[in-house]
């Protein structure tokens, strides 16, 4: 335990361990806090028998809004001030690709929010499905833009546009329309809409902000996620091209090890800027509900990292009590409050 001399820092801050949290199914479900999550945050912020503050970050595969807006939502839900400096969502690491591509198609989320997020990351020229449908309404036979979408989408002549890459930032709100447009590009000549390649091997690369087939929302059973959209897109591409085409798809997010390494760098910056702690933590407790994303990724980064990444599975989301998780956590507990207490007890 570190007792920093600076008056700006809390009296007692844990310096040897940190927590990282998944959001959906651990802290929030269907837009509402999971009841134990609010108390778990209080415990981390010093309301524990040792009076220590435990630094923590958030690592969700979700997205669709800027990090600032997501933090405002989460602060309200958890009744705690959460800052972008301790927050990573599925598309956050995509900002490192902004300089690589000229014109990109950004898919998913509400309204024009993902275009704004992409532009905020520095992407130079961002197209949305709405722009394409506005240009040619026959693109999606059963989808008409709402008045608001029509007003917000941009007019351009797609005959002259080459899409260099496609980024799926958040869950699609129109699977049929979005898959149609993705297939048109995958089968195009070099990313030019309205063209068809005869070899189907010239489409742009497709990046998904995560690969979760299902996730934990308000419904009692898990709901389809971006991984399912990706699968439908890939299988349909193979059907349409009789397996002759070539498609490049890639997923960011958990369980990818680079996503956890990105989180590790953020954690280092956060601890240094907030608490003046320079050394890496000895233990990172990662609390998740999805064995395939959270536990798999935490265990994989643990194989590579110098410090101990300790996976904790909770029963409030995707994982169903009584089933065998596909990837084994170090410990399984009922909920996030039990996870926090388990980590603190283990350390003290
Ligand atoms: O779309 C979000 C979902 O797939 C997962 O979010 O917070 O459980 O990583 P989270
Ligand atoms: Mg989750």
292 lines ligand 1 (CB under 6 A): no
For residue 197, the Cα-to-chain-centroid distance in whole angstroms is 33
List pLDDT tens digits, range 144-155.
999 999 999 999
Q: What is the pLDDT of residue 237?
A: 98
Helix (H) or strand (E) holding 214: strand 214-215
64-116 pLDDT, tens digit per residue, is: 999 999 999 999 999 999 999 999 999 999 999 999 999 999 999 998 899 99
Q: Inform me whether the pLDDT recorded for 4 exceeds 80.
A: no
Can you say whether the dihedral through the CA atoms of 152, 155, 156, 159 is positive or negative?
Answer: positive
Mutate which of 90, 173, 217, 298 for ligand 1? The one with the most ligand atoms within 8 Å of its CB, which is 90
pLDDT of res. 112: 87
pLDDT score, position 11: 59
Closest ligand relative to 254 C-alpha: 1
Each residue's pLDDT tens digit, 236-255: 999 999 999 999 999 999 99
Q: Model confidence at 5, in pLDDT bands (50, 70, 90)?
A: very low
Query: Which among 235, 170, 162, 248 is positioned nearest to 205, based on CA atoms?
Result: 248
CA distance 285 to 347: 11
ipTM of the complex model? 0.98
| pTM of structure | 0.94
CB atoms within 10 A of CB 79: 11
**Could you tell me the CA-to-CA distances from 53 to 63, 86, 344 in Å, in that order?**
28, 15, 10
| Ligand 1 atom nearest residue 227's Cα | 4
Distance from the alpha carbon of residue 30 to the mean position of ligand 2, in angstroms? 12
To test the ligand 1 pocket, which listed residue (293, 312, 314) has its Cβ within 8 A of the most ligand atoms? 293
Assigned token pair, 121: 């990351």
pLDDT of 8 above 90: no
Our answer on whether the CB atom of 109 is closer than 6 Å to any ligand 1 atom is no
Taking the CA of residue 194 as centre, how many other CA atoms within 13 Å lie in the half-sphere pointing to its CB? Answer: 12
SS3 209: coil
Task: State pLDDT tens for residues 15-70.
Answer: 999 999 999 999 999 999 999 999 999 999 999 999 999 999 999 999 999 999 99
Q: With bands split at pLDDT 50, 70 and 90, how would you rate the model's confidence at 3?
A: very low
- Which ligand minimizes its atom distance to the CA of 227? 1
Ligand 1 atom at shortest distance from the alpha carbon of 171: 1
Torsion on CA atoms 181, 93, 317, 18, rounded to nearest 10: 180
- Rounded to the nearest angstrom, the distance between the alpha carbon of 294 and the centre of ligand 2 is 7
Cα–Cα nearest to 264, from 295, 302, 236: 302
Instruction: Dump pLDDT digits (tens) for 197-232.
Output: 999 999 999 999 999 999 999 999 999 999 999 999
Q: Which of 209, 206, 204, 200 is nearest to 237 (CA)?
A: 200
pLDDT tens digits along 172-198: 999 999 999 999 999 999 999 989 999
pLDDT of residue 160: 87
* Residue 61 Cβ < 6 Å to ligand 1: yes
* Rounded average pLDDT over 278-283: 94
Output 332 or 1, whichever has higher pLDDT. 332
pLDDT at 137 over 80: yes
Distance CA 58, CA 259 (A): 12
Residue to substitute in 22, 172, 215, 287 for testing ligand 1 pocket (most ligand atoms within 8 angstroms of CB): 215
Q: How far is CA 51 from the centre of its chain?
A: 32
């Amino acid at each position: 335990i570190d007792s920093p001399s600076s008056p700006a820092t809390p009296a007692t801050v844990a310096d040897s361990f940190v927590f990282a949290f998944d959001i959906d199914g651990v802290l929030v479900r269907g837009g509402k806090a999971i009841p134990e999550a609010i108390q778990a945050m209080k415990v981390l912020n010093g309301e524990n028998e040792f009076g220590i503050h435990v630094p923590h970050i958030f690592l969700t595969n979700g997205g669709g809004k800027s990090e600032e807006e997501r933090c405002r939502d989460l602060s309200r839900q958890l009744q705690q001030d959460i800052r972008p400096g301790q927050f990573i969502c599925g598309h956050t690491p995509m900002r490192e690709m902004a300089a690589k591509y000229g014109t990109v198609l950004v898919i998913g989320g509400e309204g024009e929010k993902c275009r704004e997020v992409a532009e905020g990351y520095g992407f130079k020229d961002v197209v949305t499905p709405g722009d394409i449908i506005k240009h040619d309404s026959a693109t999606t036979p059963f989808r008409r833009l709402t008045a608001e979408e029509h007003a917000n989408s941009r007019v351009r002549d797609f005959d002259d546009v080459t899409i260099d890459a496609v980024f799926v930032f958040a869950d699609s709100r129109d699977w049929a329309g979005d898959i149609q447009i993705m297939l048109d590009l995958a089968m195009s000549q070099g990313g030019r809409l309205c063209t068809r390649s005869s070899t189907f091997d010239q489409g742009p690369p497709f990046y998904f902000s995560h690969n979760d087939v299902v996730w934990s929302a308000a419904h009692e059973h898990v709901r389809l996620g971006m991984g399912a959209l990706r699968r439908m897109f890939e299988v349909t591409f193979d059907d349409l091209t009789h397996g002759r085409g070539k498609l490049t798809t890639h997923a960011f997010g958990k369980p990818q090890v680079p996503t956890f390494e990105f989180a590790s760098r953020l954690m280092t910056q956060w601890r240094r800027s907030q608490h003046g702690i320079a050394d890496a933590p000895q233990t990172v407790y990662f609390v998740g509900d999805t064995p395939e994303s959270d536990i798999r990724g935490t265990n994989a980064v643990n194989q590579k990292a110098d410090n101990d990444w300790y996976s904790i599975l909770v029963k409030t989301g995707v994982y169903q009590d009584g089933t065998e998780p596909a990837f084994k956590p170090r410990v399984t507990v009922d909920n996030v409050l039990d996870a926090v207490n388990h980590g603190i007890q283990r350390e003290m």
